[in-house]
Amino acid sequence: MTARPSPTGGSRLRRIPSWQVTLGLALLVFGFLIAAQLQSNGPRAQYASNERGPLVETAIGLQTQQDALKAQILDLRAQITNLETKGQGSAAAATDLGLRLQDARLAAGLIALQGPGLVLQLRDSGQTVLPGDNPNDYLISAGDVRTVVENLWLAGAEGVAVNGERITTGTAILDIGGTVLVNSAYLAPPYQVAAIGPPDLFDRLSAAVGFRDFVRTRAQAFGIQIDFAEPGDVDLPAYAGAITLRYAQPDPSVSPATVRAPSSSAQP
């Protein structure tokens, strides 16, 4: 005897709608996707959290270095500004020192000069020597040249030269035989004394008592010839001799620490 299937169970299976089967499969797939997504997000979040710490530390370190570099830049800028300020002061001091050195060189005759001035020419007398007179009195001497040079300085001359020899504070004008020694050069007459100075240099020289006495005692008495000219430009060469200070020493200045204030208990 063969068993037959129950008609009730078969009818139930046949009665399940198709949309329920589709919905069930869709939910199953959706759940699988959610599970896969959750499983994949776990390692990613863990990786992100593991890598963020070193990156943050690196960023903080770079920011610290950048701040240090900024501070260094600001410090260097301040140093540059300070050096520029000091440089301006040094430049001003150097300019002042250069001007003072220039004045010293001018006073020492170490710089050639050109400008308006006066030229005097001293020549021996052409008169006959009178009986009983000294023939040397009719000749130009070193004393005559010195007198003219001194009076030119007193009249305001800024530079003087004799036959091309620049006169300085250390110049010696001496009689050597029939010549005149100026610096280390032996000069023969006539003697040209050139000077640079103010426009009225000749008027000042002519009004000087010393020059008037020189004209009276030498030109009028013995016939010494004195000629003059006022060219537009007078050229004075620079002193070309040696400069040797044998005995000069700097004068020690008084230190501020050695200066004592007067005692308040001192009696007048």
What pLDDT sits at residue 180?
A: 92
Q: What are phi and psi of 131, to 5 degrees?
A: -60, 135
- For residue 77, the surrounding DSSP H or E stretch is helix 18-108
Paired with 235 in beta bridges are: 114
What pLDDT sits at residue 24?
A: 65
Range 68-80 burial, b when 16+ CB lie within 10 A, else e: eeeeeeeeeeeee
Tell me how far apart the alpha carbons of residues 28 and 26 are, in angstroms, rounded to a whole number.
5
Show the low-confidence residues of the chain (pLDDT under 70): 1-57, 59, 62-63, 66-67, 70, 77, 87-89, 243-250, 253-268
What pLDDT sits at residue 267?
A: 46
The answer to whether 144 and 214 have CB atoms below 8 angstroms apart is yes
